[in-house]
Amino acid sequence: MNSEKPEVRPKKSRWWIWLVLLCAAGGATYLFPRVMQPSTQAQAKKGGDGARPVPIVAAMARKGEMPVYLDGIGSVTAFNTVTLRTRVDGEIVKVAFTEGQFVKKDDPLIEIDPRPYQVMLEQAEAQLARDQALLANTRVDLERYKVLFAQQAVPKQQLDTQEATVAQTEATMKSDKAQIDNARLQLTYAHIPSPLTGRIGLRLVDQGNIVKATDLTGLAVITQLQPIAVIFNIAEDHLPQVTAKMRAGLTLPVYAIDRDLKTRLATGKLLTIDNQIDQTTGTVRFKAQFENEDLSLFPNQFVNAKLLLDTRHGATIVPTAAIQHSPQSTFVYVVKPDNTVEVRNITVGITEGDNVSVDQGLQSGERVVIDGIDKLQEGSKVTVRMVGASPRG
């Protein structure tokens, strides 16, 4: 009987396997949330956007009148501007106006010393009186010569000479009368009245100065302000439409707008059109008349002119902020009764200021989005605040 004990093999240690498993479990625990986080956030964001309505501001499409304007850049021009000048030489003894004063036609403005011209008038009148007496004497002599010639007491030559003397004296009297008229005219020129109704500018010559008719500098400038004109340019393509209206006898309104295109300064009417087209710019000059009762227009002032050519009645009008453009079409976001939005292709008509007319694709009474558009897509749910309404807290 074999009494030897069986050999006992030492048990192999597997602790490293457990170490590997433990590290793998730890790594998976660390990486799994981070790998899944983007998709989870995307799903949460997608679900949140679909559930949360987008706040927008909407406006109601309405029926109304849409004016058709022709726009042009122009300047204000006075109908009449006069520079006062003297027509006689002398000293300015009186200035009867103040700078910037409104004067009427024939109001006295400047007086030049009239005494030299008064003396000239008196001398011419004295010369006329002398020649009148001489003419009377020569006519009496002529009558005597006619009697003597009938009695054959004087020759025919002497009678002819006396008749010539009478004619010469009569011509001298006409010259005297012309001298009187000239003296009176010079005396009138010494008093300078206003040639028109308007506003007088700054005084260019002061009282006490000696002025001459040959002076290049005037005495003052008067500009007519009421009425006043605006000259502006319109593209030549619109000329047939405007001339057709004028031939029909229609009066076309013209509005003067300030530089910022925000304030209407005055309302006038189209007066005339220039007789030629400017080839360098392809435009035609138009002239409009404004009564300018409130003096809102001033000569050489820059204005934007708007010529009202026509008015479209019953047009569908929406704010320009609602109009969106893509490479394929022009569209608006329409708010449906269930407060979702629909992309609607439209055909745009006339744009005027903050409004635009829609020829096709939209009806009056429909709501269009004008604010919050960048967050919208087809079918988006929205919360609506109509334009002009106070937002809820």
162-201 confidence digits (pLDDT tens): 889 899 999 999 999 999 999 999 999 999 999 999 999 9
pLDDT at 38: 44
Options 1.10.287.470, 3.30.1330.10, 3.40.1350.10, 1.10.10.1100; CATH of 114-189: 1.10.287.470
**Does position 283 have pLDDT exceeding 90, yes or no?**
yes
Q: Are 327 and 93 in contact (CB under 8 A)?
A: no
Q: State the span(s) of the chain assigned CATH 2.40.30.170.
A: 69-79+228-312
How many CB atoms lie under 10 A from the CB of residue 307?
22
pLDDT band at 18 (very low <50, low <70, confident <90, very high): low
**Does position 8 have pLDDT exceeding 70, yes or no?**
no
111-126 confidence digits (pLDDT tens): 999 999 999 999 999 9
Q: Is the peptide bond before 227 cis (omega within 30 degrees of 0)?
A: yes
The rounded mean pLDDT for the chain is: 86
pLDDT band at 93 (very low <50, low <70, confident <90, very high): very high
pLDDT band at 41 (very low <50, low <70, confident <90, very high): very low
Polymer length in residues for the chain: 393
Fold adopted by 54-65+314-386: 2.40.420
CATH superfamily for 69-79+228-312 is: Efflux pump adaptor protein, beta barrel domain (2.40.30.170)
- DSSP per-residue codes, 90-119: EEEEEE---TT-EE-TT-EEEEE--HHHHH
**222 closest CA partner among 328, 78, 346, 354:** 78
pLDDT band at 20 (very low <50, low <70, confident <90, very high): low
On whether the pTM is more than 0.85, the answer is no
Mean pLDDT of 82-101: 94
Q: Are 268 and 291 in contact (CB under 8 A)?
A: yes
